[in-house]
């Protein structure tokens, strides 16, 4: 049974790693400058790639994987959209970081919570990304989202793991599995 769901586990784990690490680094990174800024997006894109390979391994007909994005109402299709969008962001970030530009890392994390603290900074008339970034920092500094100790500490370094756990627990498949476990007996589909 575990072998049957292993590819899905690979996808959920590694894609969750990439998404969680990326989002939490965007929120908690506090603009720290790394010596090799391209390394983080490179690791994330590798993790996401491994996860997507797990998805293909899960499919009985992997060559038809494009069909899997036909129904926007389906959870699997939605996961595909988000995984592709995340992959594009990471690749763009990787390219920009490689050429020494400013990373896009904060975009992904800021669009989620930055707007919650934006009304005040809108008056400053900055560009939207800067507004989002400032808003995100306000949220973070107020401790509203993560109630974190200061960045650049051991806690901050471990937050990608927390983000990974959050992503795994809230992934669509995981929620569906929990719903099934609550609603039906787990042996429901094991009857030959």
Partner 1 sequence: MHAKHFGQLIVGKRHDGDVLYQAMGTFPRTRLAFRLMLCNHCEDPVCVKHCPTHAMHKDAETGLVLVDQDRCIACGYCTWTCPYGAPSMDDVHHIMSKCTFCKDRISEGQTPFCAEACPANARVFGDLNDPESEPSKLLQQKKGVQYLPEMGTNPSVYYV
The one segment of 16-24, 59-67, 94-102, 156-164 that binds partner 1 by CB under 8 A: 59-67
2 binds partner 1 (CB under 8 A): no
> What does the CA dihedral 88, 112, 40, 16 come to, rounded to 10 degrees?
-80
SS3 185: coil
Closer Cβ to partner 1, 30 or 78, answer by number: 78
187 binds partner 1 (CB under 8 A): yes
176 binds partner 1 (CB under 8 A): yes
98 binds partner 1 (CB under 8 A): no
CB 68 within 8 A of CB 80: yes
As a whole number of angstroms, the distance between CA 55 and CA 50 comes to 9
As a whole number of angstroms, the distance between CA 33 and CA 96 comes to 14
60 binds partner 1 (CB under 8 A): yes
Helix axes 128-142, 105-113, angle to 10 degrees: 70
149 binds partner 1 (CB under 8 A): no
Closer Cβ to partner 1, 84 or 157, answer by number: 84
As a whole number of angstroms, the distance between CA 5 and CA 26 comes to 31
First and final CA of the chain: distance in angstroms? 14
As a whole number of angstroms, the distance between CA 95 and CA 116 comes to 30
Least distance CB 191 / partner 1 (angstroms): 5
Closer Cβ to partner 1, 59 or 129, answer by number: 59
Closer Cβ to partner 1, 95 or 176, answer by number: 176
57 binds partner 1 (CB under 8 A): no
Least distance CB 13 / partner 1 (angstroms): 18
| DSSP assignments along 120-185, one per residue | HHHTTT--HHHHHHHHHHHHHHHTSSS-PPPSSSHHHHHHHHHHHHHHHHTSHHHHHHHHHHHHS-
174 binds partner 1 (CB under 8 A): no
Single residue of 38, 50, 77, 138 touching partner 1 by CB under 8 A: 77
Binding site for partner 1 (CB under 8 A): 58-62, 64-65, 67-71, 73-77, 80, 176-177, 180, 183-185, 187-189, 191
């Amino acid at each position: 049974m575990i072998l049957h769901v292993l590819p899905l586990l690979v996808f959920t784990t590694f894609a969750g790693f990439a998404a969680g690490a990326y989002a939490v680094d965007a929120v908690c990174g506090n603009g720290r400058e790394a010596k090799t800024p391209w390394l983080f997006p490179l690791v994330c894109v590798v993790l996401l790639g491994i996860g997507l390979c797990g998805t293909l391994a899960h499919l009985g007909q992997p060559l038809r994987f494009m069909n899997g994005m036909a129904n926007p109402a389906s959870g699997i299709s939605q996961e595909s959209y988000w995984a592709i969008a995340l992959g594009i962001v990471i690749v763009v970030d990787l390219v920009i970081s490689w050429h020494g530009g400013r990373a896009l890392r904060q975009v992904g994390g800021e669009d989620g919570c930055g707007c919650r603290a934006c009304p005040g900074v809108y008056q400053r008339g900055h560009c939207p990304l800067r507004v989002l970034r400032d808003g995100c920092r306000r949220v973070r500094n107020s401790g509203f989202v993560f109630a974190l100790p200061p960045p650049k500490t051991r806690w901050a370094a471990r937050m990608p793991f927390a983000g990974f756990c959050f992503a795994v627990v809230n992934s669509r498949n995981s929620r569906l599995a929990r719903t099934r476990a609550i609603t039906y007996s787990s042996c429901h589909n094991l009857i030959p």
